[in-house]
Each structure stands twice: as structure tokens, then as C-alpha cells.
A and B are shown apart, each in its own frame.
Chain A
Amino acid sequence: MNVVEMKGITKRFPGIVANDNIHLTVKEGEIHALLGENGAGKSTLMNILFGLYQPDEGEIRIKGEKVHVTGPSMAGKLGIGMVHQHFMLVDPFTVTENIILGSEPTIQGRIDREKAEREVQEISDRYGLRVDPRARIRDISVGMQQRVEILKTLYRGADILIFDEPTAVLSPQEIDELIEIMGNLVREGKTIIFITHKLKEIMRVCDSVTIIRRGKTIDTLQVKETDENRLASMMVGREVSFDVEKEQREPGETVLSIRDLRVADSRGADAVKGLDLEVRAGEIVGIAGVDGNGQTELLEAITGLRKTKSGRVRLNGKDITNLKPRSVTRSGVGHIPEDRHRRGLVLDFSIGENMVLQTYNLPPFAKGFRLQYSEIQEHAEKLVKEYDVRTPDIHTPARALSGGNQQKAVIAREVERDPDLLIAAQPTRGLDVGAIEFIHRRLIEQRDKGKAVLLMSLELDEVLKLSDRIAVIYEGKIAGWVDPSTAAEEEVGLLMAGGKSGAEVKS
């Protein structure tokens, strides 16, 4: 039986058609993947199903009946629940309080806490969620928070669950647990729609998959009858190669050396706690880890954006600890920042201006205090061509470019300065397969030119694929070193979760 049928769904926004005559049919009791690149229209479609948007055209049937989903509460009545990528939980509240929020069971106006806790425990046991109803949200792990979100939808009687990129925030172990839970849910008769762009996960858990590209349905397939490469090419619209060609190379001199570094986060708590790290010329060192283990603070400390508490950072033997960002940059560090909108680009500046964001006051871009626009433009034209930044012209504001092209612009600028150390933080986050390919090639090119590359990514695949050595970061320290050519993913995952590794690579 078809639980969800979306027929001919079209949704337009000013300037774009987000969904163009999309069809989606989900059968009862299956895990149905919704696969597509960023911006393909997956979230729009699910927001329509969840009642957050109204479609311009098309009809929706839930369990065979034609419905108009007018809002999330209507969706709830229809048995649709959504587990958002960003959790909507109240930190100081307990698990139970969060779950009953908005539909509290009461006795004469008072909240019946015990009854609620009992119910939460019951659901938790039934689906193997292993959640403590009395724990406070701020005290539990990200994985458990996600399970609370799932519990919340179940508590409200959902039998169609939408998971919006649920694995993005999880460690490999937590992903395993989530997959197990998804299995339990389906066994108990629930239906799951799984939004993702990760092919591996689809192959592992899903029964069928609908591929969306540029707002259009491409196809719906049985997972058993397809493979990763075929899905990838359907998603992107052309053949993609997954393998990164990388020759073995002998690393050279140490470029970056970090000794016993301590850095506090914005709230003053130690985020990096006595960390040692070395990156040599001609190698890519990958930092793997679950988000929030001090990666951001570490990179900010190296680049001068955050003051260190103690410890030393050396570049080519020269002490650059606590230098101003400009001095760090000029002593030979390139930095592709984690968040290109927040740090990497001035979105209202033109591409040309963004290309000289650090060098605008140096010759040839400036003579004294006067900007030399002809030089700036020439420079930008060159980079745009070389790095295949697709922009109408160099006067276009960076805001108008797609994410991939924005990132290419950042990389062009950073690589062009020819730094000895290139720091790349989440360089492919949110990008489509084509752009990822391009950026990966550029990073390896830098390594092959004998530069030191420090790669931080939350995508374990990416780290494994590109790095010559992997440092796993856990709670502000390097928990262990892994050789990507020999290490298994599980082993890295264990280190990321704070376990000990048997196969430490000598650094």
C-alpha cells in the first residue's frame, strides 16, 4: 500500500522553480531515500509534505486519501513526523519535558510528569532508542538528542517519519546505531523517508530511492537493483569518478608544528587541551572528528583569529603563536575557512574584490593608499578562468554565485597566494559532486607541489580519501594517528568516539 503519494508537485519561488512536477510514492513499511544534490529541491518537497509550504500545483495523498496539508499540526494529525537536521530542543529541559512540550498530559491543570515519563520509557524500549527520560538535553550526546527528536515524533503518534540528513552530525558509531533504530522502526510498521546525498547510507539501509535533480524527479529505483555509481551519475547528471588519484610521495620538512596547544572556546571553557600536531611539506594531514571536539578553535588559533592560552605554533620553524591574522597570512598560511559565508567571503563585495580580500593593500593592487582597479580586475579575471569560477563577470557580488562557485573563488584566492601551509576546513561542505571533485583535485595538486595541507572535515570519507595521515581529534586532543591506506573506517570511528586504537601510526 502506498502511504505517501505526491503527484505533480510544483513549487515556485521568486526567480526559481524549486519543485517542477515532482512525483514521489512511498510504500508502507519501507525506508525510502530521497536523493539529490544540495539545492535539488529535496527539502522543499519535504517541507510541502510537512505543511510548511503550500504547493503551487499537484496533489498529495496520505494513505490513499487526498489531503491538503495546511501546516505542521495538520501533518501531525496525518501521522507525519519530521526529524530536523537542526534539533529543536530546549537545552535545560529534560528529555521527557522536551517530548511532551506542547501536548502535556495533565491532571487538573498540573502536568502529570510520571505518566509522561512512563510513556516515554515505554516508547524508548519498544524501538530500542535507549533514552533516559529524566536526563537533561544539555547533558546528553548529539546522537541521543537525535533519538529524542525521533521519540518526540513517535510520542505524537507519527507513523511516517521524515529524516532530514540525519547522519550529518553523527559519528560512524552513532550512524550504526541510527541505522539499527531505523530497522526497528520499520519492523514495528513505521515508514521512513530518508533525505540524504550520501550514497553509501542509501545502499546500506534503504529499500527504494527517488532521485531528484534540479527540481525534477529523475527516477525511482529499488536499491537492490542499482549501485552507487549509477545513483551518483543520476544525481549529478553525468559520470563521476569517486576515486582520487594520488601518488605516493615522501613528505619533506616540517612546515607546521604545534606543541601543547591550549585554546578556550567563546564561553571560556577549554576546547583544545594540550594538542600536538605536525604537518610536513608535501603531505595532507587530515583531522577527523565529530563536530565540536575543538577543530574550529584549533584552526582559529593557528590562523590568529583566536588567542591561545598556552602552547606554541610554529611555521617553518618560526613562532607564529598569537600573531595577528594578517601576519599569519603573510608568513605563508592559506586558509579556506569552515564557513565561507561568515568568514570566507564578503558576500556583498564583487568577486574581484573578494579575490584581493587580504592583498588589497599590497602592490600591485594598491599604490600607496590608492586601489589599482585595473590590476585587481586583471587578477580576478585570471583566477576566475583558472579555477573555473562560473560567474557572469567579476563585478558580480559573491552573493549571487552558487555555493560551489563561491568556494572555488575562496580556494582560488587562497591557493594563488602560494602559501606554504594550506588549511582547508570543511572545504566541500554543502557542495555538489562536481565541485567536490574539483576541490579535491586542487588540494592534492597543492600537496604534489610540495605544500603542507591541513584538512579538517566532518566527512570521514573525505578525510580517508585525501589524507596521507589522519589525526583523530577527540575532546581537544589528538586521540590517535591513523594511516588511511590501512585503517578501517570502524577503527577511525572508535577513536572519534573516544575509544583507544590499536594501530597507531607513528607521527
Chain B
Amino acid sequence: MQVQQRQMRQSPLLTSIVSVILGMLVGAVMMLVAGYNPIQAYIALFTSAFLMPYDIGETIRTITPLILTGLSVGLAFRTGLFNIGVEGQFIIGQLMSVIVALKLDLPPVVHVIVAVIAGAVGGALWAFLPGFLKATRGVHEVITTIMLNFIALYLANTLVRNWLSAGSDSTEKIPESASLRWDVLSSLFGNARIHLGLFLALAAAFVMYYLLWRTTWGFELRSVGFNPQASEYAGMSVKKNLVMSMMISGCFAGLGGATELLGTAEYLSIHGSHTGIGFDGIAVALLGANSPVGILLAASLFGILTYGGSVMQFEASVPYEVIRIVFAAIIFFVAANIVRWAGTKFRKKAVTKDA
């Protein structure tokens, strides 16, 4: 038992797999209680996410933004920050890219590149603010980022209504020159809305890996994340790294928003509430243990669950809410494991030290 526990603590992969299984079991119990057949539902869920090329394409389309928001949260976590503002940075990413897409008249390719960059920069700047406030005033980033989420949401809504459209609830569709869709790719997947954002997301995962583990900046970011006092002692600027980390995190989130807008929706509409993609990023990062590969896997799982979940609703008539419960249960188990890991570790250390 003890040995088992230790192994689980040491392997985030095992923790994640066990959590996924447990989470799906919880979902199955819920379905049984509500009178649905969980086996049929899960089969529908997983097969239909891959049933036809169109479904595969749409599944990948669902996964893409989750990778980016997951990376955003994961990178911030790595540096000891809890970026709940991914949602807001995502929205700002959407907003900036739709502004560039609609208001600038640029040649193809250039247009989409500028729009993507605008989104990424917008996200980074939106995240700069909480980072700066934390570094200079010690304001906790959870508070500021939550508030900024709402500001971002209503800012986007206001601009859509009053500037980007004629009093309507959504903007016009973006011009072809700013679209991330690529006919060759779409036609491969039965005209699904799969888009080039996928490759940007994969590139971002690699960037996160390379940055954190292969560069001196990453060394600092991780060091500050683990132990700010030792980092200060070692001559690193905790404040600078904190702001940097928030900005890179925001950059990923903004990129997520930009690609989602330029690739999937192709217009921005007024939202009554948050999109949830940013919040799902927290779940993805937790399940993926904040590592780029883990985040890719976790985003894939959540993407399959999300897309397959709506098909499940279609095929097995199981309400979509069950899928959200599975989500929450998975996260619950991952986090509970993390808590136990931290708890036993610190307790054990205290014992061995003082015994």
C-alpha cells in the first residue's frame, strides 16, 4: 500500500490515468442513477469522436484551443503563479485578432499573420497587468485575473456592439485573407473547421518545453516558481520573472483566442458569460501535470470528451452535463492526489527531520 502510494506520487502519468478512470466511473454511476446506459454512452462518445473524417477534424478543432489555454495555465503554474485569467486573455486574443482581421486591409498570409500576432500580444499585455501588480504591489494574481476576465468580456462585448458591428450581437465574418482555415486541410476532414491553429498549438507546446528546460530564462522561471527566496539569493529578479511568466502565459492564451477566432468561429459575438475554454485550460494543465506532453494528452482527452460528449447526447440521449461532471471528477481526483502528495511529503519530511 505504501509502496503503491509512493509510486503514484512519483508518476504524474499514473496519477492522471487513475484519475481519468475514476472520473469516468463517477460519470458512469451518474448515468446509471439517471437511468442511462453508461457503456453505450461511452462507446458512443469515443467512437463518434472518430467516426468520420468530419468528426476527427472537429475533434481536433476542439482540442486546439485547449492545448493553448492548457499551456498557458501550465506555464504559469510552473513558475508558481495561478493564472485564472486565461479566460480573459483568451477573449482579448479573440478581440485583437478580430480587430486586425476586420479593420486592416492586408494581403493574404500577411493579414492572418498580423492578426495572430495581435492576438498573442493582446493576451500577453492583458496578463502583464496582474503580473505587474503582483510584482510591485503584492496583489494576488487570482483576484486580479478573475476581475480582468470580466473586464475583458464586457470590453469585447462593448466593442463588438458599438464599433465592430452596427449595433448587432456579432461582428461580420472575417475576410478570407485573415482566416486560418486551409482548404486542403479542411477537405481532408470532410470540411470540418480544423485549421492551422493546430500547428501553432503544437509549436507552442514545443516552445514551452524548450523555453523552460533548455534556456537560461526557463531556468530562472522554474527556479522562481519553486523557491523565490532561493532565487533571490542566487541573484535572479523574482519580480521580473514573475511579470515575464505572466506575459508568456498570457501570450499562449491570446494565441488560443486568436486561432479560435481566425480558424473556428471566424466572427466574434457578444457573450453573456465566459467561453469556458480558458477555465478548461486549468483542468487540462492539472491533468497534464503542467508538462507540455502531458498538456497535449490532457487537451486531447478533454477535446474528445467535449466533442464526443455532444455526440453522446445525440446517439445515447445522455445529457451533456454528464460530460462536465466527468470533467470535474477527473480534476477532483488529480487535485486530491496532488494534495495528498504534498501533504504526505511535507509531513514525512518533518518526521524524518525532527524524529
Interface positions of A (Cβ within 8 A of B): 13-16, 18-19, 38-44, 215, 303, 305, 324-327, 329-330, 335, 337, 342-349, 353, 357-358, 360-361, 366, 369-371, 399, 403, 430
Known: A13-B351, A19-B355, A353-B223. 18 other contacts (CB 8 A): A13-B348, A14-B5, A18-B355, A38-B353, A39-B352, A39-B353, A329-B234, A337-B233, A342-B229, A342-B230, A343-B232, A344-B230, A345-B230, A357-B223, A357-B230, A358-B235, A361-B216, A361-B219
Taking CB atoms, residues of chain B closer than 8 Å to A360 are 216, 219-220
Within the assembled complex, what's the spacing in Å between the Cα atoms of A325 and B234? 7
B222 within 8 A of A: yes
A369 in contact with B234 given A13-B351, A15-B2 (CB within 8 Å):
no
Residue of B nearest to A330 (CB): B235
Taking CB atoms, residues of chain A closer than 8 Å to B235 are 324-327, 329-330, 358
Q: Which of B1-25 contact A (CB under 8 A)?
A: 2, 5-6
Minimum CB–CB distance from B56 to chain A (whole Å) comes to 37
Taking CB atoms, residues of chain A closer than 8 Å to B163 are none
CB atoms of A371 and B219 under 8 A apart: yes
B140 within 8 A of A: no
Residue of B nearest to A44 (CB): B355
Among candidates B6, B219, B222, B227, residue contacting A15 with C-beta atoms closer than 8 Å: B6
B231 within 8 A of A: yes
CB atoms of A40 and B355 under 8 A apart: yes
Residue of B nearest to A356 (CB): B219
A-B contact pairs, 26 of them (CB 8 A): A14-B5, A14-B6, A14-B344, A15-B348, A16-B352, A18-B355, A19-B355, A42-B355, A44-B355, A215-B355, A305-B233, A325-B233, A325-B235, A326-B234, A326-B236, A329-B235, A330-B235, A342-B227, A342-B230, A344-B230, A345-B230, A346-B223, A346-B227, A358-B234, A370-B215, A371-B216
Among candidates B214, B223, B229, residue contacting A371 with C-beta atoms closer than 8 Å: B214
Minimum CB–CB distance from A376 to chain B (whole Å) comes to 10
Q: Mark B318-355, 1 if CB is under 8 A from A, else 0.
A: 00000000000000000000000000100011011111
Among candidates B222, B230, B236, B352, residue contacting A343 with C-beta atoms closer than 8 Å: B230
Residue picked from B2, B217, B235, B348, most chain A C-beta under 10 Å: B235
B226 within 8 A of A: yes
CB atoms of A349 and B216 under 8 A apart: no
Within the assembled complex, what's the spacing in Å between the Cα atoms of A305 and B236? 11
Minimum CB–CB distance from A65 to chain B (whole Å) comes to 27
Residue of B nearest to A215 (CB): B355
Within the assembled complex, what's the spacing in Å between the Cα atoms of A346 and B231? 8
Within the assembled complex, what's the spacing in Å between the Cα atoms of A24 and B6? 32
A18 in contact with B351 given A346-B230, A358-B234, A358-B235 (CB within 8 Å):
yes
Within the assembled complex, what's the spacing in Å between the Cα atoms of A439 and B227? 25
In the A-B complex, the 7 residue pairs with the smallest Cβ-Cβ separation, listed nearest first, are A326-B235, A44-B355, A361-B216, A357-B234, A343-B233, A348-B226, A325-B235
Taking CB atoms, residues of chain B closer than 8 Å to A18 are 351-352, 355
Within the assembled complex, what's the spacing in Å between the Cα atoms of A303 and B355? 33
Residue of B nearest to A327 (CB): B235
CB atoms of B232 and A305 under 8 A apart: yes
Within the assembled complex, what's the spacing in Å between the Cα atoms of A140 and B218? 48
Minimum CB–CB distance from A405 to chain B (whole Å) comes to 13
Taking CB atoms, residues of chain A closer than 8 Å to B348 are 13-16
Within the assembled complex, what's the spacing in Å between the Cα atoms of A465 and B232? 32
A325 in contact with B232 given A39-B353, A371-B216 (CB within 8 Å):
yes
Q: Which of B172-227 contact A (CB under 8 A)?
A: 213-220, 222-223, 226-227
Minimum CB–CB distance from A53 to chain B (whole Å) comes to 9
Minimum CB–CB distance from B262 to chain A (whole Å) comes to 30
Within the assembled complex, what's the spacing in Å between the Cα atoms of A337 and B234? 11
Taking CB atoms, residues of chain A closer than 8 Å to B351 are 13, 16, 18, 44
CB atoms of A349 and B355 under 8 A apart: no
Residue picked from B2, B226, B236, B355, most chain A C-beta under 10 Å: B355
Minimum CB–CB distance from A447 to chain B (whole Å) comes to 23
Taking CB atoms, residues of chain A closer than 8 Å to B6 are 14-15
Taking CB atoms, residues of chain B closer than 8 Å to A347 are 226-227
A369 in contact with B215 given A38-B353, A349-B222 (CB within 8 Å):
yes
Within the assembled complex, what's the spacing in Å between the Cα atoms of A261 and B236? 25
Taking CB atoms, residues of chain A closer than 8 Å to B232 are 305, 325, 343
Within the assembled complex, what's the spacing in Å between the Cα atoms of A18 and B351? 8
Within the assembled complex, what's the spacing in Å between the Cα atoms of A371 and B216? 6
Within the assembled complex, what's the spacing in Å between the Cα atoms of A112 and B351? 40
Among candidates B219, B220, B233, residue contacting A344 with C-beta atoms closer than 8 Å: B233
Q: Mark B220-257, 1 if CB is under 8 A from A, else 0.
A: 10110011011111111000000000000000000000
Within the assembled complex, what's the spacing in Å between the Cα atoms of A360 and B354? 33
CB atoms of B354 and A43 under 8 A apart: yes
Residue of B nearest to A358 (CB): B234
Taking CB atoms, residues of chain A closer than 8 Å to B353 are 38-39, 403, 430
Minimum CB–CB distance from A396 to chain B (whole Å) comes to 12
Taking CB atoms, residues of chain A closer than 8 Å to B214 are 370-371
Residue of B nearest to A337 (CB): B233
Within the assembled complex, what's the spacing in Å between the Cα atoms of A179 and B236? 46
Taking CB atoms, residues of chain B closer than 8 Å to A361 are 216, 219
Within the assembled complex, what's the spacing in Å between the Cα atoms of A344 and B233? 7
Minimum CB–CB distance from A506 to chain B (whole Å) comes to 34
CB atoms of B215 and A346 under 8 A apart: no
Minimum CB–CB distance from A97 to chain B (whole Å) comes to 29
Taking CB atoms, residues of chain A closer than 8 Å to B223 are 346, 349, 353, 357
Minimum CB–CB distance from A284 to chain B (whole Å) comes to 22
Within the assembled complex, what's the spacing in Å between the Cα atoms of A370 and B216? 6
Residue of B nearest to A373 (CB): B214
Residue of B nearest to A212 (CB): B355
Minimum CB–CB distance from B343 to chain A (whole Å) comes to 11
CB atoms of B233 and A14 under 8 A apart: no
CB atoms of A353 and B219 under 8 A apart: yes
Minimum CB–CB distance from A348 to chain B (whole Å) comes to 4
Within the assembled complex, what's the spacing in Å between the Cα atoms of A325 and B238? 12
CB atoms of A39 and B355 under 8 A apart: yes
Within the assembled complex, what's the spacing in Å between the Cα atoms of A305 and B231? 11
Taking CB atoms, residues of chain B closer than 8 Å to A357 are 223, 230, 234
